């Protein structure tokens, strides 16, 4: 999941080098934490969280394939 | 889009330098000669250098495909993507095995990928390109389903003389419903609620 979120985030931001993704894996669920440069926050969240929602939807689909639940959190 | 302006003794030389600077091949470049070189008097006075502007050509479809291939690769699914241009839209259709996962519930995943693809590609190019993603003819099938649904529910609204409220849909799907019932006598359609829960209402006339 980590690579997927990283790939999506890097495609959207102006500072791909500042993208950091960490993954905490549990038994049934995975938490993916995404950090980007502060000026890029809008690029991964979007108006009314539209971009964030799209990232979560795509990640969820990938996780479902492995029978897992995933939560993508965008951190400051 | 990256571009550089280079001045050199000859046009060829200037182009060569520009390509090296941009680190691209000649096929990927858009070359514009700004000044032709001119020999001055006796080759001494009034010599004019060649000046060219070279820009990197970016192919939006290529960027989109690379983006989508890397997503699918990451999910562990093999796909083929075919692109066709209809009106102002570039359709990218996926074929392969087990692609249901790419559609998601009511096309949710497909719409998310489509949205991200449009964002990713259009931030890299000057002219906007609009992409529509499709998996194994899903969009066509969904359109037919929605058309049938619209007709059925409009009959229901007319018979019962009450409003029929549909489930929340995205703008594209709502438009299909509105269009399907535009010519239909005896009913009006409108949307209510806020995104992403906006829904179509079919209301019988004189009611």
Tens digits of per-residue pLDDT, B132-162? 999 999 999 999 999 999 999 999 999 999 9
pLDDT at site B36: 86
* Cβ neighbours around A33 below 10 Å, total: 16
The C-alpha of A69 sits at a distance from chain B's nearest C-alpha, in angstroms, of 14
**Residue A62 pLDDT > 90:** yes
Residue of chain B whose Cα is closest to the Cα of A56: B112
Average pLDDT over chain B, rounded to whole?
89
Mean pLDDT, range B109-120, rounded to an integer: 95
Q: Which residues of B touch A60 (CB under 8 A)?
A: 109
| Count of A-B CB contacts under 8 Å | 53
CATH of the domain at A46: 3.30.300.20
Task: Decide: helix, strand or coil at residue B34.
Answer: strand
pLDDT at site B45: 65
Which of A8, A11, A61 lies at the smallest CB-CB distance from B109?
A: A61
Contact between B104 and A61 under an 8 Å Cβ cutoff? The reply is: yes
**Residue A64 pLDDT > 70:** yes
Which of A7, A60, A64 lies at the smallest CB-CB distance from B74?
A: A7
Which of A8, A51, A57 lies at the smallest CB-CB distance from B109?
A: A57
Task: Please enumerate in sequence order all residues whose Cβ is within 8 A of that of A39, keeping only pairs 6 or more positions apart, or say none.
Answer: A14, A15
- Tokens representing residue A28 in the block: 């049934």
- Tokens representing residue B88 in the block: 């102002």
Q: What is the ipTM of this complex?
A: 0.94
pLDDT at site B207: 57
Long-range CB contacts for residues A21-26, cutoff 8 Å, separation at least 24: none
pLDDT at site B44: 62
Q: How many domains does chain A contain in total?
A: 1
Tens digits of per-residue pLDDT, B31-83? 888 888 887 666 666 678 889 998 888 889 999 999 999 999 999 999 999 99
Within the 28-67 window of chain A, which residues sit less than 8 Å (CB to CB) from chain B? 48, 50-51, 53-55, 57-58, 60-62, 64-65
Query: Can you tell me the distance from the alpha carbon of B145 to that of B164, in angstroms, rounded to the nearest whole number?
Result: 17
Give the residue numbers spanning the domain of A70.
Answer: 2-75
Residue of chain B whose Cα is closest to the Cα of A67: B101
Residue A4 CA from chain centroid, whole number: 8
pLDDT at site B23: 85
Note whether A15 contacts B: Cβ–Cβ < 8 A: no
Q: Which residues of A touch B105 (CB under 8 A)?
A: none
Residues A54, B112: C-beta atoms closer than 8 Å:
yes
Query: Can you tell me the distance from the alpha carbon of B94 to that of B114, in angstroms, rounded to the nearest whole number?
Result: 12
Residue B1 CA from chain centroid, whole number: 18
- Tokens representing residue B133 in the block: 């993603």
Tens digits of per-residue pLDDT, A29-58? 899 999 999 999 999 999 989 999 999 999
The C-alpha of B88 sits at a distance from chain A's nearest C-alpha, in angstroms, of 23
What single-letter DSSP state applies at residue B183? T
Residues A8, B71: C-beta atoms closer than 8 Å:
yes
Task: Please enumerate in sequence order all residues whose Cβ is within 8 A of that of B178, keeping only pairs 6 or more positions apart, or say none.
Answer: B189, B191, B200
**Residue B94 pLDDT > 60:** yes
pLDDT at site A35: 96
Q: Which residues of B touch A65 (CB under 8 A)?
A: 75-77, 101
pLDDT at site B2: 76
Residue of chain A whose Cα is closest to the Cα of B101: A61
């Amino acid at each position: 999941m980590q690579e997927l979120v990283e790939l999506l985030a890097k495609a959207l931001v102006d500072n791909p080098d500042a993208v950091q993704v960490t993954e905490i894996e549990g038994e049934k669920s995975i938490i993916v934490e995404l950090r980007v440069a502060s000026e890029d926050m809008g690029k991964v969240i979007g108006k009314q969280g539209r971009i964030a929602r799209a990232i979560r939807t795509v990640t969820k689909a990938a996780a479902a394939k492995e029978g897992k639940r995933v939560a993508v959190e965008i951190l400051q | 889009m990256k571009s550089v302006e280079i001045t050199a003794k000859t046009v060829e030389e200037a182009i060569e330098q520009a390509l090296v600077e941009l680190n691209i091949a000649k096929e990927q470049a858009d070359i514009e000669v700004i000044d032709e070189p001119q020999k001055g008097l006796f080759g001494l006075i009034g010599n004019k250098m060649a000046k060219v502007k070279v820009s990197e050509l970016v192919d939006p479809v290529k960027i989109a495909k690379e983006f989508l291939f890397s997503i699918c690769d990451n999910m562990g699914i093999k796909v083929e993507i075919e692109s066709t241009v209809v009106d102002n839209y570039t359709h990218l259709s996926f074929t392969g095995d087990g692609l249901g996962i790419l559609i998601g519930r009511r096309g949710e995943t497909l719409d998310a990928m489509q949205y991200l693809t449009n964002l990713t590609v259009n931030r890299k190019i000057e002219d906007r390109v609009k992409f529509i993603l499709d998996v194994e003819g899903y969009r066509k099938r969904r359109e037919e389903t929605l058309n049938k649904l619209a007709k059925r529910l409009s009959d229901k609204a007319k018979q019962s003389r009450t409003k029929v409220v549909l489930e929340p849909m995205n703008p594209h799907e709502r438009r299909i419903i509105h269009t399907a019932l535009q010519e239909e006598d005896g009913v009006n359609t409108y949307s209510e609620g806020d995104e992403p829960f906006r829904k179509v209402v079919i209301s019988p006339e004189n009611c």
